[in-house]
Amino acid sequence: MPPATQAAIDGYLDELWLERGLARNSLAAYRRDLTELARRIERPLLEARPTDLLRAVAERYAAGYRARSSARWVSCIRGFYRHQVRKGRLAVDPSLELSLPKLGRQLPGSLSEAEVTTLLGAPVVTQPLGLRDRAMLELLYATGLRISELVTLTAGALNLRQGVLRVTGKGGKERLVPVGQEALDWIERYLADARPLLVAGRATSVLFPSRLGRPMTRQTFWHAIKRHAHAAGIERPISPHTLRHAFATHLLNHGADLRAVQMMLGHADLSTTQIYTHVAQARLKELHAAHHPRG
C-alpha cells in the first residue's frame, strides 16, 4: 500500500474516533473496507478518479459479494471521500457517481419463546463452564446485550441488589438495563459456584472469564452459543444477535413500549428499533389467524 494511502486511512480513522467516538470494532471495519479499496485501485486513494472507484465496485459485484456487504463497502467509500472534501484535502469528490445497491428491509432472525427456553436449558450446569454459559445466556436474553458488550462486562457493572446492569455500548455510551429475577438467580449461582473456579485466584475484574481466567473473545462465546443451539435441537441458522432479537421481539409481543426497548438495546435512533415492530406484527397476525373464529 502506498505510504500516502496508509497515512490517509490512518488520519481518517483518527478523525472519526475524535469526532464521532466510534467503537474499536467499527473503526476496524472501516479500516478493512478502505484497505480493500486500496488493493483494488492502482493509485493512492486521494488521487483516485471516478472511473477507478466505479471499476473497483464493479469488480466486487462480479466477485459475488452480497448486496448488503457491498452496500456497506460503498457507504464507507463515500463517507471517506466526503470527509476529505470537507477537510479541504480534495476539491472534487470522486465517489459522487457511486450508488448503493437497493436492499429489501431485512427482518432480524429470532427464536420463539419455546426455543429460547430450550436453548437456555442446554448448558450442563453441573460443570463450571456450563454454569457460566447458562448465566451468560440468561443475561443475554434478559437484557438484549450485544455479545461484545457481554464479554467485556466487569463484576462491578452488575448491581444484584437493585437488579440493574451498567452497560458500555457503541461509542462508549453508557446505559442502565434492568435484569430479571431469573437471570439474577443464575448469575448469583454462577458467582458462588463457578466463577471462583475459573478465576482460580487470578486478579481479574471480568464478570465472565474464559476457562483460563482471562477475558473471553466474542468469537469464543459465539461458538459456545452455536454448540448449545445444536444440543438444544435448533438446526436453523442463528446469528450472534439472535438472543438480542428475541429479547426485543418478545418484549414487543407482550406489549412493551417501543421507546423503552430502544433505550434497553442502546439504539441511538428509534428507527433502528422500529424494525422489530414488523416482527411483532407478523407474530400477532399468526396468532390472530390461528385463534380468531374468523381468522
Cα distance between residue 208 and residue 203, in whole Å: 13
Q: Could you say which DSSP state residue 10 is in?
A: H
| Adjacency order of strands within the sheet including 158-159 | 158-159, 164-168, 174-178
Question: For helices 67-86 and 24-40, what crossing angle results, to 10°?
Answer: 90
Q: DSSP strand E in 137-221: where?
A: 158-159, 164-168, 174-178
Q: How many helices (H) and strands (E) does the chain have?
A: 13, 3
Alpha helices in 162-237 (DSSP H): 181-193, 195-199, 218-231
Q: Which of 132, 244, 245, 250 is catalytic?
A: 244
Q: Is 60 a catalytic residue?
A: no
CA angle 288, 293, 295 (to 5 degrees): 40
Q: Which of 132, 134, 195, 267 is catalytic?
A: 267
CA angle 158, 159, 160 (to 5 degrees): 105
Q: Could you say which DSSP state residue 212 is in?
A: T
Q: Which of 146, 195, 245, 250 is catalytic?
A: 146
- Residue among 20, 17, 59 nearest 37 (CA): 59
Q: Which of 228, 241, 245, 250 is catalytic?
A: 241
Q: Is 146 a catalytic residue?
A: yes
Contact 157, 165 (CB under 8 A): yes
Query: Cβ of 62: how many Cβ atoms within 10 Å?
Result: 8
Q: Is 241 a catalytic residue?
A: yes
Read off the amino acid at residue 220.
T
Q: Is 228 a catalytic residue?
A: no
Contact 163, 212 (CB under 8 A): no
Cα distance between residue 60 and residue 119, in whole Å: 38
Q: Is 170 a catalytic residue?
A: yes
| Placement of cell 462486562 in the chain | 153
Q: Which of 170, 175, 189, 218 is catalytic?
A: 170
Q: Which residues are catalytic?
A: 146, 170, 241, 244, 267, 276
